[in-house]
Amino acid sequence: MPAEESLRSKKARLTRNALHEAAITRVLEDGLACATVATIAADAGVSTRTFFNYFETKEDAIVGLGAEVGVDESLAFDYVHSPAGLDTLAEDTARFVREALLVGSVDPKLPARRRRLFALYPELVSKSFDRAEELEEIVTGHVLDRLRHLGQEFSSEDSAWRSARMLTQLCRVPLNHAGQVIKADPEAVEDKGGTQAIFEDSLNLFRKVLDRLP
């Protein structure tokens, strides 16, 4: 049963990503007003009924804000139950945050294309923030699970949640920094060997800054 559920989860994630990419491509080609749910679904190779299983509107599909927004179960399990201790918590969490908050795609140009859409249609930005906030809440729950797995104790549930949220937000810094590097110099993606390499540079700087703090 676990293997079957894992395959189902993977299929759903691939379908969601296909719809997300198709929505971006169609809107860039036809414009927001002319792009339709039917054409987006057709481009992704699914029915309109399947589209609405994942997204309520084409705008939601563009930013990846769907009814089943979440974090891959195996990714979350590996993070929460990692045998590593507190010494790698910040690094582990930063990597987990990156994987969880970014919409998976084999297309390395997708983030740049998404930014082009936001520049053309600023009204989509608020939806993008909604997606990030919703995912951050889910990620915070997993971060709290990791803290408890490491034996951390809290005075109250409120204190536990606030601590986990603070750690989650802190560990978004490498991802945000990498995004700023790419935004300032898009050619850096190719020059440095891809977005993963840029993130690793940002993560290395993040570790150095933390190590220098008293």
What is residue 1's predicted lDDT score, i.e. its pLDDT?
31
pLDDT digits (tens, 9 = 90+) for 72-121: 778 889 999 998 888 899 999 999 988 887 654 445 567 678 778 888 88
Query: Which parts of the chain register pLDDT below 50?
Result: 1-5, 104-106
Q: Is residue 205 part of a domain?
A: no
What is residue 65's predicted lDDT score, i.e. its pLDDT?
64
Q: Is residue 7 part of a domain?
A: yes
What is residue 26's predicted lDDT score, i.e. its pLDDT?
94
Residue type, 118: F
Q: Is residue 115 part of a domain?
A: yes
Structural domain span for residue 97: 2-171
Q: Is residue 139 part of a domain?
A: yes
What is residue 143's predicted lDDT score, i.e. its pLDDT?
95
- What's the CA gap between 66 and 148, in Å, rounded? 29
Please spell the DSSP secondary structure of the chain, one letter per residue.
-HHHHHHHHHHHHHHHHHHHHHHHHHHHHH-TTT--HHHHHHHHTS-HHHHHHH-SSHHHHHHT--TT----HHHHHHHHT-S--GGGHHHHHHHHHHHHHSPP-S-TTHHHHHHHHHHH-GGGHHHHHHHHHHHHHHHHHHHHHHHHHTT---SSHHHHHHHHHHHHHHTTHHHHHHHHHHHH-TTHHHHTTSHHHHHHHHHHHHHHHHHH--
Q: Is residue 155 part of a domain?
A: yes
Torsion-angle region of residue 105: left (phi > 0), alpha (psi -120 to 50) or beta? beta
Q: Is residue 177 part of a domain?
A: no
Identify the CA nearest to 99 among candidates 213, 204, 214, 203: 203
Please report, for the domain that includes residue 145, its CATH number.
1.10.357
Q: Is residue 192 part of a domain?
A: no
The total of structural domains in the chain comes to 1
Q: Is residue 208 part of a domain?
A: no
